[in-house]
Amino acid sequence: MINPDVRHTGDSGGVPLVLLHGFPFDHTIWAAQVAGLADVARVLTPDLPGFGGAAPLPGDPVQATIHAYAEAVLAWADSLGLATFALAGHSMSGYVALALAHLAPARLDGLILIASRAGADSAEAAAGRHKQAAAVGERGPVAVAEAMLPKLFAPHTPAGVRAAVETLILRQTVPGIQAALYAMASRPDARPWLTTIPTPTLTVAGSNDTLIPPSEAQAMRDGLRNAAYVEIAGAGHLPMLETPAALTTALRPFVAGLRPPILVPPGS
């Protein structure tokens, strides 16, 4: 289950905006957006199951699915009484957000897909994730840190940001990381779903993202029914940390334009 210790801010009457971190991070990546969007949204930053101290998905990590993470997010939203909300998913959580949009489109007021893609893993990529899950079992989170850190950043990203991200990865847990790797490896191709998703969507990419290049966000924009694309200059895979002000500026008009939920007084 997602950590019930919900971090949220900005009860401004704006739309609830759920920011979901990617792999293998936690809610702390969103600090700049929590501060920068609090006047236009009620910003919520849960941890995915297995990250940031949240309990992992129940069961064997090998059986974890992206669908199960989406259901966990819906159960968490239910527990808060969030009938509808806007959802921003970073990378792996873009996969989760697309699964949730497919599962329960009526729950979403808006969708933001950051540094993500709709396609499934190739057989080779899935095998690589299985190998990485085994390495994490043997060596701990350092195995995934060593594999990912060289690919995460734009060339000019400061050493301090790189070091903070390394620390963030190293404090995640083995079962959480393994479950996410197995879930990403087995995820279905979400491209056929795109034309069925009615939700207003913003797809976002860092111009220097080599892990998931901007062409993937552009392809999602093209496949979705109601989507726009924005590119963050000078960012790699982590625009929320590499170019935080630019990401907040890019999200702000989209978020501010989303309809706040209609509150029906009890008994009416």
Between 33 and 91, name the residue whose CB sits nearer to ligand MLT: 91
Q: Does 50 bind ligand MLT (CB under 6 A)?
A: no
Q: How far is the CB of 89 from ligand MLT (least distance, A)?
A: 9
In residues, how long is the chain? 268
Q: How far is the CB of 132 from ligand MLT (least distance, A)?
A: 9
Amino acid present at 191: R
Which residues 101-130 are close enough to bind ligand MLT by CB under 6 A? none
98 neighbors 67 (Cβ within 8 angstroms):
no
Backbone angles phi, psi at 133, to 5 degrees: -60, -40
Between 92 and 255, name the residue whose CB sits nearer to ligand MLT: 92
Query: Is omega for the bond preceding 24 within 30 degrees of 0, making it cis?
Result: yes
Q: Does 205 bind ligand MLT (CB under 6 A)?
A: no
Q: Does 29 bind ligand MLT (CB under 6 A)?
A: no
Which residues 184-203 are close enough to bind ligand MLT by CB under 6 A? 184
Q: How far is the CB of 156 from ligand MLT (least distance, A)?
A: 20
Instruction: Compute, in degrees rounded to 10, the torsion defined by CA atoms 106, 250, 117, 214.
Output: 150
DSSP H or E stretch at residue 160 = helix 159-170
Here the tokens at position 2 are 């997602």
230 neighbors 202 (Cβ within 8 angstroms):
yes
Contact residue for ligand MLT among 18, 54, 72, 92 (CB under 6 A): 92
Contact residue for ligand MLT among 14, 22, 61, 239 (CB under 6 A): 22
Helix axes 174-185, 66-79, angle to 10 degrees: 120
Binding site for ligand MLT (CB under 6 A): 22-23, 91-92, 184, 211
